[in-house]
Amino acid sequence: MKSYCISDNVDTMTGMRLAGIEGEVIHDREGILKRLDELIQDPDIAIVLMTTKTINLVGDVVSNYKLNLARPLIVEISDRHGSAKIGETIDAYISEAIGIKL
C-alpha cells in the first residue's frame, strides 16, 4: 500500500518526497478532482495526504469520499502557512454523518 500527497505548494511536496511519499503540486479545483478520481481507482493507494488549501478547494467532494468510501484514507495536513482546524473538521464530519450538531 502506498501514500500519495496532493499539495498546493512546492515546500510541502519537497518535504513529503524527502520522507519517501510521492505526490504532486496542483493549484486548481479541476486538477485536484481529476487526480483524486485517479487515486481512488488505484488499488495500491491507501492514504491520500492533502494540504489544507487543497482540501478547501474540493471540500464538498472530499467530505463525500470520506463518508462513502472505505479506501483511500484522505488526511488533511497543515503546511507552513498555517494550521488546520482539525477538531472543527472532525465535528463537521460527525455531525453530517449522524445528523446531529455537536
pLDDT digits (tens, 9 = 90+) for 1-28: 899 999 999 988 998 899 999 999 999 9
Global confidence as pTM: 0.78
Work out how many domains the chain is built from and give that number.
Answer: 1
Range of the domain at 7: 2-98
Instruction: Give residue-wise pLDDT tens across range 13-70.
Output: 998 899 999 999 999 999 999 999 999 999 999 999 999 899 989 989 998 998 899 8
What CATH number has the domain bearing residue 60?
A: 3.40.50.10580
- Cross-strand bridge partners of residue 4: 22, 48
- Between these two residues, 11 and 82, which has the higher pLDDT value? 11
Stretch 79-84: mean pLDDT: 62
